[in-house]
Amino acid sequence: MKMDHFETLHRPDEQEPAAVAGQRWRAWRLLLATRRSSAETMVSSERTLISPLMLRRPLVRALYWGVFSLLLLGTVTTFGPLYWMVSGALKSNVEIFQTPPTFWPTHPQWSNYSNAWQILQLPLYMCNSLLLAIGAVVLQLLVSATAAYALSKLRLRGKNALQFAFFATLMVPSVVYLIPQFVNISDLPLIHVSLINSWAGVWLPEAANAFNILVLKSFFDTIPSELIDAARLDGASSWQVFTRIVLPLSRPALAVITIFTVIASWKDFLWPLLVLSNSNLQPLLVALYHESGLNANLPFSYLMAGLVFASIPPILLFLLFQRQIIRGVNLTGLKG
């Protein structure tokens, strides 16, 4: 009924007075709100792989608990290195390297964390990592969202060839790009400017991310074309459709891209190591690597404490937004 009423209000051959135009605008807003509500309902509905009725069968129940036990064992195993890192930061240098190793420090030295915080200058490097992550999020959202919108909703010549060129890069190992990227960053074509020892040299190569474009295009494809057509009949330009309809409906996918980008930027090591030689600009992981080499006499427990501090933000981010990550991955169709 809403669609019939909506189509009736959009007859192109009628002369529309101001009252009818107002009704058309209210109907368009109502349809947009209905689509948004149905999308949120779809997000909130979750199903399990095995129904309660199937779990009553002995064989299915045995397989279910067998798989559950294996997954639980794998989860506990992944906590092993994390526990070793946290407990190692509490040990003395002698106790860390003694054989056999101790499961828990004999005399926990909690001051190792505060000493590492000051000696390794962790506030400076954590701030650098945070600023690098913010810049990466802004650039990747801008480039990925506009590229995905163009591939999904705009009628472009050679769109299939562009799409193939974008997504073909997913098949190439990222290490292959290191030398060409470094040459370009060292001397940008046409303007001949070097971005070595500049955060722009880290941000620019990451701006066009084919994985993010694929995720957003998959989500944009699910937005009904009727909404786009209705907005264009009302005189909305492609940019207004993008900013007022597509982006507000794509908040789950944008949230997923933001979280993935922050985590990837925080743990990025090789490219910042190549580009940033100035110690005041380096992110946390690169700074810890250099500190371990420059200060050979530095207690190993301090480096372990520094790694603990470096691991806290990504873990907290995942714990806080794990529901949004899982729902966003489901919405974008990247299951399994």
Q: First vs last Cα of the chain: how many Å apart?
A: 38
Q: What is the DSSP string of 150-177?
A: HHHHS--TTHHHHHHHHHHGGGS-GGGG
How far is 235 from 25, CA to CA, in rounded Å? 11
Place of tokens 């966003």: 328
Q: Is the pLDDT of residue 87 over 50?
A: yes
Q: Which of 115, 79, 124 is nearest to 300 (CA)?
A: 115
Give the pLDDT confidence of 230-248 residue by residue, as tens digits: 888 888 888 898 998 899 8
How far is 269 from 289, CA to CA, in rounded Å? 9
As a whole number, mean pLDDT of residues 87-116 equals 87
Q: Is the pLDDT of residue 333 over 80?
A: no
Q: Which residue has the higher pLDDT, 135 or 325?
A: 135
31-36-40 Cα angle (round to 5) = 150
So what's the pLDDT on residue 22? 56
So what's the pLDDT on residue 230? 87
As a whole number, mean pLDDT of residues 21-26 equals 57
Lowest mean pLDDT among 4-18, 60-74, 238-252, 316-330: 4-18
CA distances from 115 to 4, 6, 284, 288 (A): 70, 67, 16, 14
So what's the pLDDT on residue 124? 93
pTM: predicted TM-score of the whole model, two decimal places: 0.74
So what's the pLDDT on residue 132? 94
Q: Is the pLDDT of residue 309 over 90?
A: yes
Q: Quote the tokens at residue 138.
A: 């802004």
So what's the pLDDT on residue 6? 43
Under 8 Å between Cβ of 145 and 251: no
Give the pLDDT confidence of 37-67 residue by residue, as tens digits: 555 544 444 556 677 777 778 888 888 889 8
So what's the pLDDT on residue 69? 92
47-48-50 Cα angle (round to 5) = 135
Under 8 Å between Cβ of 169 and 205: no
Q: What is the mean pLDDT of the chain?
A: 81
How far is 87 from 304, CA to CA, in rounded Å? 9
Task: List, in order, residues 6 or more apart from 214 with CB less than 8 Å away.
Answer: 166, 167, 170
How many percent of the chain have pLDDT more than 90? 21
So what's the pLDDT on residue 34? 56
So what's the pLDDT on residue 11? 47
Find how far residue 135's CA is from the centre of its chain. Answer: 13
Q: Which residue has the higher pLDDT, 327 or 188?
A: 188
Collapsed DSSP state (helix, strand, coil) of residue 279? coil
Neighbours of 66 (CB within 10 A): 10
Find how far residue 149's CA is from the centre of its chain. Answer: 18
Give the pLDDT confidence of 196-233 residue by residue, as tens digits: 999 999 999 888 888 888 888 888 888 888 888 888 88
Neighbours of 250 (CB within 10 A): 24
Under 8 Å between Cβ of 302 and 116: yes
Q: Which residue has the higher pLDDT, 142 or 7?
A: 142
Q: Provide the sign of the torsion angle of the four alpha carbons 162, 168, 174, 176, taken in this order.
A: negative
Neighbours of 50 (CB within 10 A): 14
Place of tokens 């509905």: 45
How sure is the predictor about 257, in pLDDT bands with cuts at 50, 70 and 90? confident
Find how far residue 9's CA is from the centre of its chain. Answer: 41
168 CB-contact burial (10 Å; exposed 0-12 / middle 13-18 / buried 19+): exposed
